[in-house]
Amino acid sequence: MAARVIPVDPFDLVIFGATGDLAQRKILPALYRRFAEGQMPAGSRVIGAARTEFDKAGFRAFVDETLTACLDTDPPNPEIRAAFLDALDYVALDARGDQGWTALAALMRPDVVRAFYFSVGPSLFGALAERLGAHGMATPDTRIVVEKPFGHDLTTARALNATLAAHFRETQIYRIDHYLGKETVQNLMAVRFANVLFEPLWNARFIDHVQITVAETVGVGGRGPYYDRAGAMRDMVQNHLMQLLCLIAMEPPYCFDPDAVRDEKLKVIKALDPVARGDIVRGQYAGGAGAASYLDEVENPDSLTESYVALKVGISNWRWKGTPFYLRTGKRLRARASEIAVTFRDPPHSIFGEDAPWKANVLVIRLQPDEGMTLRVMIKEPGPGGMRLKDVALDMSFAEALGDDMHIPDAYERLIMDVIRGNQTLFMRGDEVEAAWAWTDPIIAEWQKTADTPRPYDPGSSGPDDALMLMHRDGRRWREIR
Ligand code: BG6
């Protein structure tokens, strides 16, 4: 089944940092795929802007190589690739200086959608915003796209918000959290609000607990200097896991409108309890079997930064009081597996007797790999011999359900097209980001104050043993990472 392609208006998309890692791995391949699907209308242009002294032909050759290296699907069709490269332009530009800005302004067309993608470090956001304003490019309909990390803590996030607000209105600012662009993450909203089955049960009365897992097999690789300053709490929990938590826990928005959705997410973040010291476990991967340890990879033998974190958090509102949310994420774990598991409470009374083998109903939403959903339900084991109960999985793989040739778009494909459409629903609002930092900051401050040492864990394991205890002591268990 082919995905339905909804056309967008012609656009000029300028990518600052067009030769950087993110542009190569994510942004350019995503644009190519949308072009190949016929979603980029004729006359649209992607304009690279970076320090490298390319001319137009040089940039096109660069992107050609990038596509060969970074497209994880079939090699691009030569005709489509040529047409895509034809839609590219380039300006060599100095973000903090004067070079290139007049040339860029001359390229901009007044009658098409205009977006600037800041695929650069946050230290350049201010300079870019200022120069866009000074050169008359920050028109009222202009959109800017900014990447995470959006700040290092509440203070820096506030300063960044203020810098951007000096030149752009909130409705023009698209803060990316690429988890919101993942198909299954959006499906969370469809599951909750397009079915009557779950919502009546979606509260502390019927849900025992929720587990959110984002496990990775990769280590920090070449991102050591950034990662060692950030750690799993800033890199993953403050943004990606927080967004997942919000989508599970929020009240139904009155409509699927950017502010209606973001208002509800913000209320969840504000209702999060502070996390007690004993409700959080930090880990750091050791080396072993030829694999480098975290300390080796970041080249900092004294680092106290966590590459793993597991925590338990409550939400103080009427819907969730009494239902803990357990979150965990880490690098160099056993498998790449991200999922949300909602475990329901036991029925109030068993008509099958006290000894009946009982397994709670669990709804598992798999984000990656093999996107899909599983609902574990109790049935009678077939055959004579009395009423024996058994739990089985009602399993749905989206690839199977929708057809194997259905291409599930990468998060960036969806998000970039949403920028062009002017739809901010899947982007974080400034107050949301600040609220998330306000919750995260005291946890990190406590670690720093006490020089907390992360627990070592074996690469290829499911994290430090102490994380198991976090659930065991509550009479619960983490789901296996596989
Ligand atoms: C990024 C983090 O935001 O998300 C990385 O900075 C992490 O450390 C990545 O590896 C995970 O994204 P995904 O889409 O591969 O789950």
Which residue among 217, 240, 297, 332 has the greatest number of ligand 1 atoms within 8 angstroms of its CB, and so is best to mutate? 240
Query: Which residue positions in the chain have pLDDT lower than 50?
Result: 1
Q: How far away, in angstroms, is 126 Cα from ligand 1 center?
A: 25
Is the minimum distance from the CB of 441 to ligand 1 under 6 angstroms? no
What pLDDT does 327 receive?
A: 98
- Nearest residue by C-alpha to atom 8 in ligand 1: 235
147 Cβ closer than 6 Å to some ligand 1 atom? no
Per-residue pLDDT at 291: 85
How many whole angstroms from 78 Cα to the centroid of ligand 1? 31
CA 196-200-202 angle, to 5 degrees, is: 110
Q: Which CATH architecture has domain 11-147?
A: 3-Layer(aba) Sandwich (3.40)
pLDDT, position 69: 87
Q: Report the separation in Å between the CA atom of 224 and the middle of ligand 1, taken as the mean of its atom positions.
A: 14
CA–centroid distance, 217 to ligand 1, in Å, is: 11
Q: How far is CA 474 from CA 82, 208, 209, 312, 471, in A?
A: 59, 11, 11, 11, 5
Give the pLDDT confidence score for residue 113 in this predicted structure.
Answer: 94
pLDDT of residue 359: 87
The answer, yes or no, to whether any atom of ligand 1 lies below 6 A from the CB of 235, is yes
CATH top class, domain 180-408+429-472: alpha beta
pLDDT of residue 3: 58
Does the CB atom of residue 216 touch ligand 1 within 6 A? yes
Closest residue by Cα to residue 212 from 181, 250, 243: 243
Give the residue extent of every domain in the chain.
11-147, 180-408+429-472
What is the predicted pLDDT for the residue at 384?
84
